Amino acid sequence: MGIYIIKKLFLLLPLFIGITFISFTILKAIPGDPAIILVGERASPEDIEKIKRHIGSNRDIVSQYGGYLMMLLKGEFGRSYYTQRRVIEDIAEKLPNTAALALAAMLIAVPAGILFGFIAGLRQNTWIDSFISGLSLTGLSLPVFWTGLLLMYFISLNLQLLPPSGTGFRFIILPSLTLAFPAIGSISRVTRTMVIEISSMPYIKTAISKGVSPLRLYGIHMFKNIIIPVITVIGIDFGSYLSGAVLTETIFGWDGIGRFTFEGIMKRDYPVVMGCIITATMIFVLINLIVDIMYHLLDPRVRFHAPQR
Amino acid sequence: MPLKGKIAASIIVLIFLSVLFGPFLMPYDPYQINLDEIRRPPSAEHPFGTDQKGRDILARVLYGGRISLAVALTATAISFIIGFLTGTISGFFGGMIDLLLMALVDLLMAFPSLLLAMAISVILPQNIYTAVIALSLVGWAPFARLIRGYVLTIRDEYFIHAARAIGCSETRVLIRHIMPQCLYLGSMYMGMKIGGFILSESALSFLGLGAQPPVPTWGGMISSSRAYMLSDPWMILFPGLAIGITAFCFNIFGDSLQQKATSL
């Protein structure tokens, strides 16, 4: 177990180098000479040369990348073009808000998705199954920025039940609901598939013939086997939740890294955009690492029989 | 294919016909600003109402659909082609080529895909090709993974050995024997992914990345009418419905394809 985690952690290293290399390539492809952007169009050639030496854009590409990597390792994403604040500080400030939003969305999506999936799977091919399956697919098909705007229109502007935008506890309900919709869709779909698959397994038949109570049957025998694919799906989809956060946070004015990314995109504030994307990618990678480790904790079959890779 | 798949496919055909021929039949020009007719609610004259510049929203939804769907479908097709070539080559030749190509695929898949597409489109010049390039650069990786996996399962089949035995060159085996085998599975997978590409395109255009106003795109129409949402909700309602219905039909169609693929 310990060895497995250590192995996985070592595999993060090449991934980190690759991720930073791609972000470096994107940064290099930004139109315009950074030195000229810093000193302005009218600076003398000597000044431009001086700035180039200072920021190192006259060095060869490999040492530039090396410098960039060293910078990132020190936790430095550069400064915003507009506010001159260090991007890492802004991200550190806003990340807890995004985490709270994601957590709230998961607290809605996981129970709701599992419940809907259970109902649909146990009532396979009835009208209620078709209804839930249709609803799940709708959740996956509607653009989050649109459902967000509609929720805002109906619940906060028309019915005046909840505030439309801001950051804080009362404000979290609508954006987390928006973010939860597609998640409910994918979780209920995977739960439904698993319920159908598991229902015909011999151990379920054995449990039924032994006279196990329904609560124990669904709550323990089936649930234990469903939770693993659900966690997998959350891991896989987490990237799309992060992208969804960019749209949702923007609409609801939630002060997280999603809205920060959006503002960076609008103002072409490249250090902000790249800083946010590297952070989001690292989170995505870590979440999937945690999912991998959870497999081992939750499923003894993986622990004992997995081929040693 | 199940009935719902067929229904979804017919609606998709209907949507395609309307965005292709609809703009010719509309009495309004999607770009024509008409300040006498601003922010009119839906009526017989303007079934979807008019926007803040008096442009007919139905005309813009139809015309915008052309652009949004063209962008999404082109991006899907390019992703498919790149992914198909990479996947077949990687799986067939194996070794170092496979290792390098799959390392690249894994790397791309480590990014949240829409975020990477955003980062790429920010640095590109903004026009209708922006989203195509960004979505294709990101979208090919899962195709490559899937196709490679399939090639691995068929490359030791007897017909491949037979082809070699009668003297086919490696390139010929790859192009004439491996690739056609993968085409069926690949095109099914492509069908499953279109809905996702449509949603990604709408998100990029909502963020203002890609085609610039006044060119209508479904996502762009929603973002430029956001400020009028409280008084004139139809402005964002109809473009959003267009995205939702199209993506929904493609997803149902994709589900039916998947059922077919798993029963293979």
- Which residue type does B53 have? K
> A298 falls in which pLDDT band (50, 70, 90)?
confident
Distance of residue B120 Cα from the nearest chain A Cα, in angstroms: 7
Task: Flag if A149 and B229 touch (Cβ within 8 Å).
Answer: yes
Question: How does residue B14 score in pLDDT terms, banded at 50, 70 and 90?
Answer: very high
Averaged pLDDT of chain B: 90
**Architecture of the domain made up of B3-18+55-263:** Orthogonal Bundle (1.10)
Would the CB atoms of A146 and B116 count as touching at under 8 Å? no
| Mean pLDDT along residues B71-83 | 96
Between CA B256 and CA B260, with CA B257 as vertex, the angle to 5 degrees is 90
* Min Cα–Cα distance to chain B from A107, Å: 21
Confidence class for position A309, pLDDT limits 50, 70, 90: very low
B128-133 LR contacts (CB < 8 Å, sep 24+): B128/B67, B128/B70, B128/B71, B128/B210, B128/B211, B128/B215, B130/B204, B130/B209, B130/B210, B130/B211, B131/B71, B131/B75, B131/B201, B131/B204, B131/B205, B131/B209, B131/B210, B131/B211, B132/B71, B132/B74, B132/B75, B132/B78
Burial A276-291 (b: 16+ CB within 10 A, else e): bbbbbbbbbbebbbeb
Contact B192, B249 (CB under 8 A): no
The pLDDT tens digits of the residues spanning B219-245 come to 999 998 888 888 888 889 999 999 999
**pLDDT for residue A24:** 86
pLDDT of the residue at A55: 67
Q: Does B228 touch chain A (CB under 8 A)?
A: no
Task: Flag whether residue B100 sits within 8 Å of chain A, measured between CB atoms.
Answer: no
- Is the pLDDT confidence value at B80 over 90? yes
Calculate the alpha carbon distances from B14 to A2, B21, B197 in Å.
57, 11, 19
Mean residue pLDDT of chain A comes to 85
Report the percentage of chain A scoring pLDDT > 90: 33
Closest CA to B204 of B158, B102, B136, B107: B136
A273 interfaces chain B, CB cutoff of 8 Å: yes
Nearest to B112 among A140, A143, A240 (CB): A240
Query: Is residue A31 within 8 angstroms of chain B, CB to CB?
Result: yes
Least confidently predicted of B21-25, B90-94, B201-205, B206-210: B21-25
Kindly list the residues from chain B whose CB atom is less than 8 angstroms away from the CB atom of residue A159. none
Whole-number Cα distances in Å, B64 to A111, A112, B204: 38, 35, 14
A234: nearest Cα among A187, A289, A191: A187
CB contact under 8 A, B207 and A262: yes
- pLDDT category, A204, cuts 50, 70, 90? confident
- The answer to whether B39 and B191 are in contact (CB under 8 A) is no
For range A273-299, the mean pLDDT:
88
Please state which of the ranges A249-263, B143-157, B224-238, B246-260 shows the lowest mean pLDDT.
Answer: B224-238
Which pLDDT score is estimated for A208?
A: 86
| Local structure of B50: helix, strand or coil | strand
With a cut of 70, say whether residue B38 has pLDDT above it: yes
How far is Cα B239 from Cα B42, in angstroms, rounded to an integer?
Answer: 13
Residue A1, token pair as written in the block: 């177990």
pLDDT at res. A248: 93
Tokens 């598991």 belong to residue: A198
The ipTM (two decimal places) reads 0.90
The average pLDDT across B63-68 equals 92
Q: In whole angstroms, what is the distance from residue B206 CA to residue B200 CA?
A: 10
Q: Tell me the C-alpha distance between B115 and A262, whole Å.
A: 10
Mutate to test the interface with A, among B68, B104, B118 (most CBs of A within 10 A): B118
> Nearest residue on chain A to B204, judged by CA atoms?
A247
Q: Does B112 touch chain A (CB under 8 A)?
A: yes
Distance CA A105, CA A99 (A): 10
Residues of chain B with C-beta less than 8 angstroms from the C-beta of A266: 208
- Residue A211, pLDDT > 50, answer yes
CB-closest option in A31, A157, A266 to B123: A31
Asked if B192 has any chain A CB less than 8 Å from its own CB, the reply is: no
- What length does chain B have? 264
Q: Does A18 touch chain B (CB under 8 A)?
A: yes
Cα B28 to Cα B42: distance, rounded to the nearest angstrom: 15
pLDDT range class, residue A175, cuts 50, 70, 90: very high
Structure tokens at B257: 């394809």
Share of chain A above pLDDT 70, in %: 92
How many angstroms separate the CA atoms of B12 and A196, rounded? 30
**What number is the average pLDDT over the span B57-68?**
92
How many CA within 13 A on the CB side of residue B187?
A: 5
> How close, in Å, is residue B250 to chain A by CA atoms?
9
pLDDT band for B196, please (50, 70, 90 cuts).
Answer: very high
Instruction: Tell me the pLDDT band of A111, cut-offs 50, 70 and 90.
Output: very high
The yes-or-no verdict on residue A168 having pLDDT over 80 is no
CB-based contact (8 Å) between A173 and chain B? no
pLDDT at A308: 45
Q: Is the dihedral of CA A116, A117, A121, A125 positive or negative?
A: positive
pLDDT band at A34 (very low <50, low <70, confident <90, very high): low
Least confident window among A158-162, A303-307, B48-52, B142-146: A303-307
Q: Under an 8 A CB cutoff, do B199 and A150 touch?
A: no
> What is the residue extent of each domain of chain B?
3-18+55-263
Tell me the nearest-neighbour CA distance from B209 into chain A, angstroms.
9
Q: pLDDT for B147-192, tens place per residue? A: 999 999 998 899 999 999 999 999 999 999 999 989 988 998 998 8
Cross-strand pairs, A222:
none
SS3 A187: helix
Q: Report which of residues A224 and A180 the model is more confident about.
A: A180
Q: Is A23 on the interface with B (CB under 8 A)?
A: yes
HEC letters along A66-129: HHHHHHHHCCCCCECCCCCCEHHHHHHHHHHHHHHHHHHHHHHHHHHHHHHHHHHHHCCCCHHH
Contact status of A193 with chain B (Cβ, < 8 Å) = no
The pLDDT value given to residue B112? 92
